[in-house]
Structure 1
Amino acid sequence: MYARRSALLAAALVTVVLVTGCTDPAPLGRSPEIDVSSAVAASAAAKKELLAALAQFQKGTYRYAVDADYLDGQRIQASGAHDPAAHRYTRRFTITGGPQAGSGELILIGDDLYTRTGDRSRWVHENLGVLATDNPLLTVEAEDPSGLVAFADAVDWTDRTGRNTLDGAFDPPAAGVAILPLGAPSMSLFSRGNAGYTATTDAQGHIVSIVMDLNTVDGRRKLTSTFSDHGKPVTITKPKKADL
Structure 2
Amino acid sequence: MKSSRSLLLALALSGVITVTAACGDKKDDGAAAPATASATSAAPSSTADARTELANAFNKLNGTTMAYTTETATGAVATTKLNGSIDPSKQASSGKMTISAQGRNIDAEMIVVGTDVYLKVALPLPGVDPKKWMHVDGTKTSLSKLGLGNPDDPANVKGISDAIVTAERTGSGSYKGTVDLTKRNVPSTSAALLQQMGDAAKSVPFEATINSDGFLTSLTMNVPAAGQVPATTAKSTFTDFGKPVTIAKPADAETQAAPAALLAQFS
1:63-142 equivalences in 2 (<5 Å):
63-96=67-100, 98-99=102-103, 101-118=105-122, 120-133=130-143, 136=146, 138-142=147-151
Q: Which residue is 1:190 aligned to?
A: 197
In structure 2, the residue matched to 1:26 is none
- Note closer, same or farther for the CA distance 1:233–1:222 as it changes in structure 2 (3 Å cut): same
Aligned residue in 2 for 1:25: none
CA RMSD for the aligned pairs? 2.8
Assess, with a 3 A threshold, how the Cα gap between structure 1 residues 48 and 65 changes in structure 2: closer, same or farther: same
Bigger drift between 110-119 and 198-207 goes to: 110-119
Q: Which residue of 2 aligns with 1:177?
A: 190
Deviation at 1:188, TM superposition (A): 8.9
Say if 1:107 and 1:144 are closer, same or farther in 2 by CA, change over 3 A. same
Is 2:88–2:151's contact at 8 Å kept on the other side of the alignment? no
Distance 1:115 1:188 in 2: 30
Is the counterpart of residue 62 in structure 1 residue 66 in structure 2? yes
Residue 247 of structure 2, aligned match among 223, 236, 243: 236
Please, which of 38, 41, 56 is the counterpart of residue 52 of structure 1?
56
Return the alpha-carbon distance in structure 1 between the equivalents of residues 78 and 236 of structure 2.
17
TM-score (norm 1): 0.70
Deviates further, 193-202 or 101-110: 101-110
Tell me by how many angstroms 1:206 deviates. 1.5
Amino acid of the structure 1 residue aligned with 2:168? D
Closer/same/farther in 2, CA of residues 150 and 99 from structure 1, 3 Å limit: farther
Amino acid at match of 1:212: M
Structure number with higher relative contact order (C-alpha < 8 Å, ≥ 6 residues apart):
2
Q: What's the offset of the Cα at 1:157?
A: 2.6
How has the CA–CA distance of structure 1 residues 42 and 194 changed in structure 2, closer, same or farther, with 3 Å as cutoff? closer
Shift in alpha-carbon separation, 1:189–1:107, aligned structure 2, 3 A: farther
Q: Equivalent residue of 1:158, what SS?
A: strand
| Count, aligned residues | 197
Matched, 1:163 2:167: no
Equivalent in 189, 211, 214 of residue 220 of structure 2: 211
